[in-house]
Amino acid sequence: MTAPLLHLDNVTKLYKRGGLFGREEFRAVDNVSFHIDDKEPQVFTIIGESGSGKTTLARMVLNMIRPTTGTIFFKGQDLASIRSGGARRRFMKEVQPIFQNPFEAFNPLKRVDRYLYMTAKNFTDAHSSAQLDAAADAALNKVGLSIGEVRGRFPHELSGGQLQRVAIARALIPGPSMIVADEPVSMVDASLRMSIVNLFRTLRDELKVSIIYITHDLATAYYVSDRIIIMRKGEVVESGSARVVLENPQHEYSRLLKSAVLSPDPHGHGVLTGDSAASQQARASPRRQTINSRS
Amino acid sequence: MAQMPASSVQDSSHVLETHDLRAHYRMKYFGIDREVRAVDGISMHVRKNEVYGIAGESSCGKTTFIKAIAAAIRPPLEIVAGHVNYSFIKGDLYAMPAADRSAIRWRHLSYILQGSMNVLNPVRRIHKTFEDFAFRHMHLGRAEFDQAVKHHLERLRLPAEILRAYPHELSGGMRQRVCIALATLCKPEIIIADEPTTALDVVVQKDVLAMIRETQSGFGSSMIFVTHDLTVHANVTDRLGIMYAGRLVEEGRTADVFANPMHPYTAHLIASLPKIGDTQSRNALSGSPPNLADPPKGCRFHPRCPLAMEICRYENPALTTLAEDHRVACFAASTKVQPANDEGSGEAKTLEMAR
Amino acid sequence: MIAVFRDLFRYNGEFAIGFMIMVIILGIAAASFFSPYEPIDSYLVALDAPPSTEYLFGTNSRGQDIFWQLTFAIRNTLAFGFIVALISRILSLAIGLVSGYVGGAVDRILMSINDTFIVIPLFPLLVLLYFVLRDDMTWFVLALVMAGLGWAYDARLIRSVMISLRTREFTNTSVFSGMSMPSIVTQEHLPYVLPIVFSTFMNNMNWSIGLEVTLAVLGFTDVDTPTIGGMIFWANQHSAMVSGIWWWYFFPTLFVTLTFIGLFLLSISMNEYIDPRSRLDRMGNS
């Protein structure tokens, strides 16, 4: 029996506030445990509002900060044992991040393609500029872009959606087994979110990458997740299969979250039911088959 | 400040009218020579006591449009053509002297912004901020003003203790509610809300939206609600205008626009909204919005449009009324012609950009 | 590049004025290479002659043509200021970068040293050094000493910029792209730090020139090499104020004041252009 992909064992993160007199403790993450097994790639979603500890949790999984107590195992290895540069590099080859604000994730003064080349040089065997170009182009193609659209561009010359896709492409170059995406679509326009969330499906199904998807948006969570945990003030309040939890939430906080989701048709007039040419075309647009829900 | 009795709107049931408004960013220094046509010919109106929504992707020009109608223009942004008429101003907004223009703020036109910290001064207590914004408009004595503020907060069901607090002592949602109270204190004719709930958590967003709706209908103000999130529009607005690349492409009653969108861009936006309980894969529109310094000829949407025809490459469709209170700028919608690609499936085709 | 320079000249009044002043000053300094007289020779021309067509700025009581003396004085003073600013920039950059990025105990130790240097009273220290070194106190030694004392303020400035950059998200992206800490600091963070270095360079030049002039006027430097302060020192020695030889004071003072103003205007106007935020605005990031 192989080790699970990711295993969190009673992980807690405490922050101490205050000066010399009167320090108070703040529990950002409080005794969280879960695991993601490695039999099939899956999308594991962490849902929570601000202050729930989800970003702190993401950073611990990425080994950017250390838990106060508890252990995190990635493929059986304790993250605390990663000390040397070589060990860190091996870890980063397997686990890559996507951050919330694509405009902050790239240096505004530097060109975007530079990060792609840098990642390719450090994590793959590519050396020559032709090889680096090819590696960057291959990764960009997976996210629906090409090197020609991106070469020589600064971050502000691309839209939020495009930039986030470049960030995903960069994360894919080392060939990771797991990507941790911290609110990847909350700073992207609502109309562009679906293209990125669709991408996560592709990453899971075709590229066999597991994704930890952190968000506060229940609608996209329903659309793309396999398993879900709901966090509040650092604790896990509910977990399970995505469809089950979201269709029938048990905990009172989960119910509150679900009731707060806005419907696009609050008064029941119908959406896209009309007979204009545009509506007909939108309805007739081909859809892929409904996926089988997994637990 | 002198009252502005006469109004310049053509229809007395309107609070705001714009006629072919054009506002461009003109940059001609430090080696750059570029004119970004951020707002390129917008004619619309807002009626009394209605919430008018403006939807569109980032960089479609909606924020520039807001600045243009609020007279918050600074170089390199310039008004190139067009008129802005309010029901409480005599003549065009930009024909007024600048001092009078700033006098209409808050008393007749107020705003709610995305970040509450863009409005609230972090080093002043809340009651001081109320004084800073509204005291000179209310023409009341100090004590009466304080009473009016307390009464206003009571009516909005906000605790009176927040007046003594600093902004950082309040939560994000509470701060936004304070901004709403601030904006409605002088009972302005029109309120501009620019992404007021975008940065808030889901649960707080629902409460703040409810409060916005209540205050708007309670005080009878009109509101222009700008956000890229269509589900918010569905829950808050009475009429909805969709902007693309600096132009209005569709406008109508919100229910009509959602049930029967006539512009392919609108239809795509609505089709791509996720809903809990629905896992069908949805298609994304390929391509990206055009560069406003060098937009495509003809209809600006034609390179990405699944219904594009020959004429779309050369001529820009005008905003025409095709149904009751429902305007569209689209040749395919106007002529009711079948789409050119006749597979019936209409996978979004990216046409070459015609120059 | 040329277009940028032209626009800077056209639209930014401060830059235009500062640039023209510095052209004049540098022109005078360059003229020193064509001087018909050796700088330290004295009693070469008529004494105490007022400004005329023959002697442009007049002559002094030591028989030197003031105009040609001034060319050397400006050249030496500018060179001095430049060397001090250069060396102290390198020091403050190195210490600020390391302190800001590494943090922890290293940061605390470096900043304690830094704060000690800030509170050291410079002037008494320099005077003391002069009395200890006397004739060994050459210009270069003085420049080194001043550079070693003038880095402290700006090191803290650079450190705080580094701390804010360290927490920005693109630093994390660089880490996960496999970059090492030194390359992150030099490639990602330096463009944000350089504008500070540049404008403090000009300020540092002004500061060091000012201090040098003060020391020289009081005679606490090597007064044989001609510098602005040295000229004023000799004027004092020969009681030029009492004798009515105003041109001996006037021209050095005028030109050192012009130098200060020119450097100051350049630093504030170029900074507006180089600062990453205003550069982003101009790139069209609106």
**Tens digit of each residue's pLDDT (9 = 90 or more) over B27-61:** 776 666 788 888 988 999 999 999 999 998 877 88
Q: Reply yes or no on whether the pLDDT at C15 is more than 90.
A: no
Chain C residues touching A154 at Cβ < 8 A: 283
**B96/B192: higher pLDDT:** B192
Q: Reply yes or no on whether the pLDDT at B160 is more than 50.
A: yes
| Apex C55 CA angle, C52 and C59, nearest 5 | 110
Nearest CA in chain A to C168: A104
Partner-chain contact C284 B27, CB within 8 Å: yes
Q: Give the number of other CB atoms < 10 A from CB of residue B331.
A: 22
A281 and B CB contact within 8 Å:
yes
B31 and C CB contact within 8 Å:
yes
Section C191-199 average pLDDT: 82
Section C195-216 average pLDDT: 86
Section B341-348 average pLDDT: 38
Chain B residues touching A265 at Cβ < 8 A: 234, 258
- The separation between CA A166 and the C-alpha centre of its own chain, rounded to angstroms, equals 14
C167 and B CB contact within 8 Å:
no
Q: Output the pLDDT for position C50.
A: 84
CA–CA separation, B77 and B38 (whole Å): 9
Q: Find chains touching chain A: ≥3 CB pairs under 8 Å.
A: B, C
User: What is the percentage of chain B residues whose pLDDT exceeds 90?
Assistant: 24
B25 and C CB contact within 8 Å:
yes
Tokens coding C176: 């996960």
Q: Where are the domains of chain A?
A: 40-55+88-259
Q: How far is B339 from chain A (nearest CA, A)?
A: 8
Q: Output the pLDDT for position A44.
A: 94
Q: Output the pLDDT for position B278.
A: 64
Nearest CA in chain C to B34: C284
Q: Which residues contact B155 (CB under 8 A, 6 or more apart)?
A: B218
Partner-chain contact A260 B203, CB within 8 Å: yes
**C90/B282: higher pLDDT:** C90
Partner-chain contact A278 B201, CB within 8 Å: no
CA–CA separation, B184 and C264 (whole Å): 48
Name residues 6-35 of chain C within 8 A of B (Cβ).
Answer: 7-8, 10-11
Q: Where are the alpha helices (DSSP H) in B185-292?
A: 202-219, 230-236, 254-259, 264-271
- Tell me how many helices (H) and strands (E) chain C has: 14, 0
Partner-chain contact B31 C4, CB within 8 Å: yes
**CATH code for residues C2-46+53-283:** 1.10.3720.10
Q: Output the pLDDT for position A288.
A: 45
Partner-chain contact A218 B269, CB within 8 Å: no
Chain B residues touching C7 at Cβ < 8 A: 29-31
3-state secondary structure of B87: coil
Please say whether the beta carbons of B36 and C285 come within 8 A.
no
Partner-chain contact A222 B279, CB within 8 Å: yes
Partner-chain contact C3 B34, CB within 8 Å: no
Confidence of residue B283 (pLDDT cuts 50, 70, 90): low
CA–CA separation, C97 and C160 (whole Å): 9
Top residue of B227, B231, B331 to mutate, by most chain A CBs within 10 Å, is B231
CA–CA separation, B215 and C54 (whole Å): 85
Tokens coding C36: 């018909």
Section B209-231 average pLDDT: 90
Partner-chain contact A161 B277, CB within 8 Å: no
Could you read off the pLDDT of A109-123 as tens digits, one per residue? 889 999 999 999 999
Element (H, E) at B225: strand B222-226
Identify the CA nearest to C69 among candidates C198, C235, C266: C235
Most confident of A175-179, B70-74, C146-150: A175-179
Q: How far apart are the first and last CA of chain A?
A: 20
Top residue of C161, C167, C176, C189 to mutate, by most chain A CBs within 10 Å, is C176
Nearest CA in chain B to A162: B288
Nearest CA in chain A to C166: A107
Partner-chain contact B202 A276, CB within 8 Å: no
Q: Where are the domains of chain C?
A: 2-46+53-283
Could you tell me which CATH class the domain A40-55+88-259 is placed in? alpha beta
Partner-chain contact B275 A219, CB within 8 Å: yes
Q: Give the number of other CB atoms < 10 A from CB of residue B265.
A: 25
Q: Are strands A227-232 and A43-47 parallel, antiparallel or unpaired?
A: parallel
Section B187-200 average pLDDT: 88
Chain C residues touching A124 at Cβ < 8 A: none
Average pLDDT score, chain B = 83
Q: Find chains touching chain B: ≥3 CB pairs under 8 Å.
A: A, C
Q: Output the pLDDT for position A277.
A: 83
3-state secondary structure of B158: coil
Q: Output the pLDDT for position A290.
A: 35
Partner-chain contact A260 B268, CB within 8 Å: no
Which strands make up the sheet holding B222-226, listed edge to edge?
B109-112, B190-194, B222-226, B51-55, B239-244, B247-253, B326-328, B320-323
Q: Reply yes or no on whether the pLDDT at C274 is more than 80.
A: no
Element (H, E) at B25: strand B14-27
**DSSP calls for C206-223:** HHHHHHHHHHHHTT-S--
**B98/B212: higher pLDDT:** B212
pTM of the prediction?
0.81
Q: Output the pLDDT for position C66.
A: 86
Section B244-248 average pLDDT: 91
Q: How far is C180 from chain A (nearest CA, A)?
A: 9
Q: Reply yes or no on whether the pLDDT at B3 is more than 60.
A: no
Q: How far is C4 from chain B (nearest CA, A)?
A: 5
Q: Which of C168, C174, C178 lies nearest to residue A89, judging by beta carbons?
A: C178
Which range has the worst mean pLDDT, A69-73, B160-164, B235-239, C42-46?
C42-46
Partner-chain contact A281 B337, CB within 8 Å: no
Section C184-210 average pLDDT: 86
Name residues 246-305 of chain B within 8 A of C (Cβ).
Answer: 293
Top residue of C173, C189, C278 to mutate, by most chain A CBs within 10 Å, is C173
Section C123-149 average pLDDT: 84
Please say whether the beta carbons of B192 and B111 come within 8 A.
yes
Partner-chain contact A281 B346, CB within 8 Å: yes
Nearest CA in chain C to A118: C177
B307 and A CB contact within 8 Å:
yes
- Residues of chain A with pLDDT below 70 are 1, 18-22, 286-295
A123 and C CB contact within 8 Å:
yes
CA–CA separation, C228 and B276 (whole Å): 79
A295 and C CB contact within 8 Å:
no
Q: Reply yes or no on whether the pLDDT at B273 is more than 90.
A: no
Q: Which of A108, A115, A122 lies nearest to residue C173, judging by beta carbons?
A: A115
Q: Reply yes or no on whether the pLDDT at C170 is more than 90.
A: yes
Top residue of A228, A232, A279 to mutate, by most chain B CBs within 10 Å, is A279
Q: Which of A262, A264, A276 lies nearest to residue B333, judging by beta carbons?
A: A276
- The separation between CA C36 and the C-alpha centre of its own chain, rounded to angstroms, equals 28
